[in-house]
A and B are shown apart, each in its own frame.
Chain A
Amino acid sequence: MKVIDWLLRDAPLATRREITPKLGFVLTILLALIWLIPFLWMGVATLRPASDGINLMAELMPSVKPTLDNIRDAWEIGDFPRYTLNTTIICTGILLVQFVTITLAGFAFARLSFAGKTLIFYLFLMQLMLVPVLLIVPNLSLVAQLGLYDTLTGVMMPFFASAFGTFLMRQAFEAIPTELEDAALIDGAGLFQCIRHIYVPLSMPSFSAFAIISVTSHWNDFLWPLMVINSPDKRPLTVGLSVFTATAEGTQAWGTIAAGTLMVIAPLLVTFLIFQKRFISSFVTSGIK
């Protein structure tokens, strides 16, 4: 019980004696453990020597003789620094352009009035219903016509505008009291100054929430970059990693796969750990602006 008391040291006094919050707490711990198992296995499998054989591959107990061979293998098979750079360029490039487009589009839908606004907004939202695979061929044709086939810009292009992001920013801007804008207008601010000094700073949580969603989804995108990129030196991480995971015949060197996967997710994981507090708070914001 001492442990539980210590764990609950921050809980409000009123709930110390209640059972429900404790149950929730235990459940959260359980879920976290379940979520951790694949990560643990990945770490263990990465350090397992090949001499342990396939039988021990599924074990969660670390090997007695850990080795860095798998990491070296994966590092040699794939040009990971280059892949990571490419993926980073793709994700940040997309995100930066998206910030501009979703801010302006979101503002237009939230605050401006123009003919057919609702209809256009709904048409915009219909993008969310489309399966990305449907658009591969038309998008690729367009990218090729623009001379962007086999370029990183070509990979980013289709994602510069985001229906989801526009919707998110519209909701965020609508929640901001118009009085703030009116005050700024009376002080002689222009439209863009209003956006820059009132709307954007007050919607930061929505921006960071969108940034997380955008970066994680494009970080993990496989099929579209596979379609656009031919040159080995322009491969993003996902395509680079699949070289030794997508085998139809023969089988897989699990240790190498684990090592490669670890390298792919490490940057995301580190970023998450650094910004953890901010990430959590961006999803749980109070309604008061």
Chain B
Amino acid sequence: MLFSRRLMLGLAMAGTLAGALAFPAIAGEGTTEIDLFFPVPVDGKLARDMGTLIKEFNETHPGVKATAVYTGSYDDTLIKTRAAIKAGKPPAAVIMSANFLLDMQIENELTNLDSLIKADGTTKEQFLGQFFPALQGNAVIDRSVYGVPFHNSTPLLYINADKAKEVGLDPSKPPQTWAELTDWAKKLTKREGDKVTQWGIAIPCAYDYCGWMMETLTMSNGGRYYNEEFGGEVYYDTPSMLGALTWWNDLIFKHKVHAPGATPGPAVSTSFISGNAAMMMLSTGSLTYVRDNAKFNYKVAFIPRNVRNAVPIGGASLIVPAGLEADKQKAAWTLIKWMTSPEKSGWWSRATGYFAPNKAAYKTPEMLEFLNKNPDAKTAVEQLDVAKPWFATYKTVPVRKNLEDEVMLVLNGKKQPKEALAAAQKAADETLKPYNAETSLKLP
């Protein structure tokens, strides 16, 4: 017998006991218990750092007991937050991908932060003035504040300086245009017969990353990706995006300097670190990892342009879900202000490689010392002058996947850019239809 009677009884007892033990914790008198949902977009050890940060907050704020709840990827975090709101158990604060805010605001899932800012005696302008201007587009909707930037990024071009020197290129003068970058990638690709032993460049494409890279290339090509003023329109089937995808496609199939197929972000950084790819486009969020693991001299540079220098921001903002009790909302606001203060966001920035959205963080002595030692951390901040908001629409994730699925087909050599973008546009228009029916197409 696999399951003897006694064993079954024992297990049944253990099961009921465990069920009985699993009751929710009861809060102590006078303390407000709040949950903070956070994804780990970077190295897993940071989950521990987040624990450290929250522990410090709890020690310095006796009236509040915050728990850091790890919630998977950015996309998983959105699913969990939404499910929790619908189940009537909203968390007090969430580190949410910056481009999901509009979608959540459309669905009435966000708390408008204006009144909380006002209650502190600051004006909206003063409050927003703490942050870099490029970050405000994703945090402000209809002139109201819905999110507080926490850790942000821009895409960068990483160059293996040693390999560049080997082939006679000057890493102190990185490529500025797509033409120069293509030329660099050709020179940096090593072949043995038909086999490529070193790729010139690697650009990531997996859900989430792929859409961001497409926006990066499209913006560099003069395009917009989406309507910044209205959540019901994306511009996939346009000359600017067609040029961007065609160039990416050419890097693979025409110039053969980029490995075929859609490569996830971690695989891209791995191949750069291992010397399998001499250049890569990746978020500044990977900078700490590259700094700690690269056994060669590397250089970071702006994303090269075809028409203009422009990149989207990335990263995440702190939000307060709708439907919270007043005391929890207040506690959440205290936590958010503490986490986004110059000292804390500076510390988090040095730990991750993301830049600190709070401008004052760059005036702290720790940060000045850090930048002296690691000048490469300045590049992302400097690039902010040409940064624009991250695409945010009604149903951001499905609309993004409409494009990503087609781009993956192109990179795998199964589709041509033109027809892929036409298909992506058609699918996205279909996804956006319900919103347009309620807004732009709702006529008197």
A247 close to B273 (CB less than 8 A): no
B274 close to A53 (CB less than 8 A): yes
Nearest CB on B from A237, distance (A): 14
Residue in A closest to B20 when the chains form the complex, CB atoms: A153
Please, how many angstroms separate the alpha-carbon atoms of A54 and B39 in the complex? 25
B62-78 CB mask vs A (1 if < 8 Å, else 0) is: 00000111111110100
Residue in B closest to A89 when the chains form the complex, CB atoms: B18
Chain B 274-305 interface residues, beta-carbon cutoff 8 Å to A: 274-275, 282-283, 285-286, 288-289, 293, 295
Chain A 233-258 interface residues, beta-carbon cutoff 8 Å to B: 234-235, 239, 242-253, 256
In the bound complex, residues from chain A placing their C-beta under 8 Å from that of B87 are 137, 140-141, 143-144, 149
B44 close to A151 (CB less than 8 A): no
* Residues A227 and B79 in contact in the complex (CB < 8 Å), given A251-B269, A275-B2: yes
Nearest CB on A from B376, distance (A): 15
A96 close to B67 (CB less than 8 A): no
Asked whether any CB of chain B lies closer than 8 Å to the CB of A204, the reply is yes
Contact among A145, A222, A251 with B43 in the assembled complex (CB-CB below 8 Å)? A251
Please, how many angstroms separate the alpha-carbon atoms of A283 and B231 in the complex? 54
Please, how many angstroms separate the alpha-carbon atoms of A149 and B69 in the complex? 14
Please, how many angstroms separate the alpha-carbon atoms of A289 and B437 in the complex? 63
What's the tally of chain A residues with a CB closer than 8 Å to chain B?
Answer: 53
In the bound complex, residues from chain B placing their C-beta under 8 Å from that of A208 are 2-3
Chain A 99-135 interface residues, beta-carbon cutoff 8 Å to B: none
A77 close to B83 (CB less than 8 A): no
Asked whether any CB of chain B lies closer than 8 Å to the CB of A136, the reply is yes
Residue in B closest to A279 when the chains form the complex, CB atoms: B2
Nearest CB on B from A250, distance (A): 4
B24 close to A250 (CB less than 8 A): no
A152 close to B22 (CB less than 8 A): yes
Residue in B closest to A224 when the chains form the complex, CB atoms: B83
A230 close to B2 (CB less than 8 A): no
Please, how many angstroms separate the alpha-carbon atoms of A42 and B227 in the complex? 46
Please, how many angstroms separate the alpha-carbon atoms of A248 and B87 in the complex? 27
Nearest CB on A from B129, distance (A): 28
Please, how many angstroms separate the alpha-carbon atoms of A226 and B42 in the complex? 19
B275 close to A55 (CB less than 8 A): yes
Asked whether any CB of chain A lies closer than 8 Å to the CB of B35, the reply is yes
Please, how many angstroms separate the alpha-carbon atoms of A211 and B8 in the complex? 13
Contact among A147, A227, A245 with B80 in the assembled complex (CB-CB below 8 Å)? A227
* Residues A144 and B2 in contact in the complex (CB < 8 Å), given A246-B40, A248-B73, A253-B43: no
Residue in B closest to A92 when the chains form the complex, CB atoms: B11
In the bound complex, residues from chain B placing their C-beta under 8 Å from that of A249 are 41-42, 153, 265, 282-283, 285-286, 314
A243 close to B44 (CB less than 8 A): yes
Asked whether any CB of chain A lies closer than 8 Å to the CB of B415, the reply is no
Describe A's contact surface by its main secondary structure: helix
Please, how many angstroms separate the alpha-carbon atoms of A244 and B73 in the complex? 11
Q: How large is the interface on B (under 10, 10 to 19, 20 to 34, 35 or more residues)?
A: 35 or more
A247 close to B266 (CB less than 8 A): yes
Please, how many angstroms separate the alpha-carbon atoms of A66 and B283 in the complex? 33
Asked whether any CB of chain B lies closer than 8 Å to the CB of A190, the reply is no
B265 close to A243 (CB less than 8 A): no
A230 close to B35 (CB less than 8 A): yes
Most chain-A Cβ atoms within 10 A of its Cβ — which of B70, B82, B270? B70
In the bound complex, residues from chain A placing their C-beta under 8 Å from that of B72 are 222, 226, 239, 242, 246
B266 close to A252 (CB less than 8 A): yes
* Residues A232 and B67 in contact in the complex (CB < 8 Å), given A93-B15, A227-B79: yes
Nearest CB on A from B433, distance (A): 21
A129-169 CB mask vs B (1 if < 8 Å, else 0) is: 00000001100110111010111110010000000000000
Please, how many angstroms separate the alpha-carbon atoms of A66 and B212 in the complex? 40
* Residues A89 and B269 in contact in the complex (CB < 8 Å), given A137-B83, A149-B24, A247-B44: no
Asked whether any CB of chain B lies closer than 8 Å to the CB of A231, the reply is yes
A250 close to B269 (CB less than 8 A): yes
Nearest CB on A from B11, distance (A): 5
Contact among B18, B68, B275 with A152 in the assembled complex (CB-CB below 8 Å)? B18
Residue in B closest to A260 when the chains form the complex, CB atoms: B44
In the bound complex, residues from chain B placing their C-beta under 8 Å from that of A204 are 1-2
Nearest CB on B from A135, distance (A): 11
Most chain-A Cβ atoms within 10 A of its Cβ — which of B44, B69, B265, B282? B44
Contact among B18, B40, B69, B295 with A53 in the assembled complex (CB-CB below 8 Å)? B295
B74 close to A248 (CB less than 8 A): yes
A243 close to B40 (CB less than 8 A): yes
Nearest CB on B from A204, distance (A): 7
Asked whether any CB of chain B lies closer than 8 Å to the CB of A29, the reply is no
Please, how many angstroms separate the alpha-carbon atoms of A97 and B19 in the complex? 12
A231 close to B25 (CB less than 8 A): yes
B44 close to A77 (CB less than 8 A): yes
B40 close to A207 (CB less than 8 A): no
In the bound complex, residues from chain B placing their C-beta under 8 Å from that of A151 are 22-24
Contact among A57, A141, A234 with B86 in the assembled complex (CB-CB below 8 Å)? A141
Most chain-B Cβ atoms within 10 A of its Cβ — which of A222, A226, A232? A226
Asked whether any CB of chain A lies closer than 8 Å to the CB of B162, the reply is no
Asked whether any CB of chain A lies closer than 8 Å to the CB of B195, the reply is no
Asked whether any CB of chain A lies closer than 8 Å to the CB of B237, the reply is no
Please, how many angstroms separate the alpha-carbon atoms of A242 and B71 in the complex? 9
Nearest CB on B from A84, distance (A): 13
Q: List 17 A-B pairs, Cβ < 8 Å.
A: A54-B293, A96-B12, A97-B15, A137-B87, A141-B88, A143-B87, A144-B87, A211-B3, A230-B67, A231-B67, A243-B47, A246-B40, A248-B41, A250-B41, A250-B289, A251-B289, A275-B2
- Since A77-B44, A230-B69, A243-B70 are in contact, a sample of 18 more A-B pairs with Cβ atoms closer than 8 Å, ordered by chain A residue number, is A89-B14, A144-B89, A149-B24, A152-B18, A153-B22, A204-B1, A211-B2, A243-B40, A245-B44, A246-B39, A247-B41, A248-B208, A249-B286, A250-B269, A250-B285, A250-B289, A251-B286, A253-B44
Which residues in B have some Cβ–Cβ distance to A below 8 Å? 1-3, 8, 11-12, 14-15, 18-19, 22-25, 35, 39-45, 47-48, 67-74, 76, 79-80, 82-84, 86-89, 91, 153, 208-209, 265-266, 269-270, 273-275, 282-283, 285-286, 288-289, 293, 295, 314, 352-353
Which residues in A have some Cβ–Cβ distance to B below 8 Å? 53-55, 57, 77, 89, 92-93, 96-97, 136-137, 140-141, 143-145, 147, 149-153, 156, 204, 207-208, 211, 222-223, 226-227, 230-232, 234-235, 239, 242-253, 256, 275, 278
The 9 closest A-B pairs by CB, nearest first: A244-B44, A249-B285, A250-B42, A144-B87, A251-B269, A151-B22, A251-B266, A152-B22, A140-B87
